[in-house]
């Protein structure tokens, strides 16, 4: 049974999601604020639905605080329709963005799509080395020497895509389509550029040479 955590200060929205998804066989956990959400994180949800505008700590801040340790998909739910809000939400580790009011059936479809992507086998080790840097495609992990690097989900997916096709150049638009999806709302150049920037920074922090090359005017490639 899949476990869904919905974080929203509107009780009616939590109740609507709980009623609908419970009927679909989900266990639904509800939190009306970030403090309660932290208490529920040890329940290990399979996916999180996160409102942006909440009193106290907002959804953006919460996502930034937990993204490196919470690996499950995070879908933002927000009444904010501005492109800048969507770009910010995706660039700090969100996996999807749905504006309010939303169709509960569309929300269900999006949740199911993200969970299908997450269901790929993770227990078989398929580790590949690039010097002292390694990536385990089966376990969805990457590291340098004996240290595990805490990539966010989107960061890891970019590393997986580029390293699995070492030497091949991917445009920013193509990376965005593969990682975010064809129907994602956001700016491909900004989202991809920010994620690549963070990947390079983390590699540098661990003493690893930059492995993602910029092919000016075209895109990015993994050093072969």
Contacts of 144 (CB under 8 A, 6+ apart): 132, 133, 134, 203, 206, 207, 208
The whole-number pLDDT of residue 87 equals: 82
Mean pLDDT per 10-residue interval, the chain, length 224 residues: 94 96 95 93 93 88 83 89 82 86 93 80 68 87 92 90 90 86 63 92 92 93 86
Residues 109, 12, single domain; the answer is: yes
Domain end: 96, 118, 140, which one?
118
Question: What is the C-alpha separation between 186 and 83, in angstroms, rounded?
Answer: 6
CATH number at residue 164: 1.10.10.10
**Number of domains making up the chain:** 2
The whole-number pLDDT of residue 188 equals: 67
Domain end: 66, 96, 118, which one?
118
Phi first, then psi: what are they for 195, rounded to 5°?
A: -70, -40
Whole domain around residue 134: which residue ranges? Answer: 127-222
Reported in sequence order, the residue ranges of the chain that DSSP labels E, i.e. its strands, are: 3-7, 27-31, 47-51, 74-78, 96-99, 127-130, 133-136, 141-144, 147-148, 170-171, 212-215, 219-222
pTM to 2 decimals?
0.58
Residues 19, 50, single domain; the answer is: yes
* Nearest to 93, CA basis, from 75, 113, 118: 75
CATH number at residue 43: 3.40.50.2300
The CB density around residue 180, as the number of other CB atoms within 10 Å, is 22
CA distance readout (Å), 34 to 54, 58, 136, 181, 198: 8, 8, 33, 28, 25
Domain end: 118, 137, 153, which one?
118
């Amino acid at each position: 049974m899949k476990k869904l955590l919905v974080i929203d200060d509107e009780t009616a929205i939590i109740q609507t999601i709980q009623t609908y998804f419970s009927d679909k066989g989900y266990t639904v956990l509800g939190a009306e604020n970030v403090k309660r959400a932290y208490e529920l994180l040890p329940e290990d949800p399979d996916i999180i639905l996160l409102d942006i505008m909440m009193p106290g700590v907002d959804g953006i801040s919460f996502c930034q605080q937990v993204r490196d340790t919470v690996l499950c998909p995070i879908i933002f739910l927000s009444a904010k329709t501005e492109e800048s809000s969507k770009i910010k939400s995706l660039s700090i580790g969100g996996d999807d963005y749905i504006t309010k009011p939303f169709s509960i059936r569309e929300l269900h479809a999006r949740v199911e799509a993200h969970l299908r992507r997450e269901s790929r086998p993770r227990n078989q080790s398929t580790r590949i080395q690039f010097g002292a840097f390694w990536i385990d495609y089966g376990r969805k992990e990457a590291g340098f020497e004996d240290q595990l690097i805490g990539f966010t989900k989107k960061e890891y997916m970019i590393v997986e895509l580029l390293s699995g096709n070492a030497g091949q150049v991917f445009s920013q638009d193509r990376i965005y389509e593969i990682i975010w999806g064809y129907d994602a709302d956001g700016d491909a150049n900004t989202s991809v550029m920010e994620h690549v920037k963070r990947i390079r920074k983390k590699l540098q922090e661990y003493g690893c040479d930059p492995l993602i090359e910029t092919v000016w005017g075209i895109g990015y490639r993994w050093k072969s």
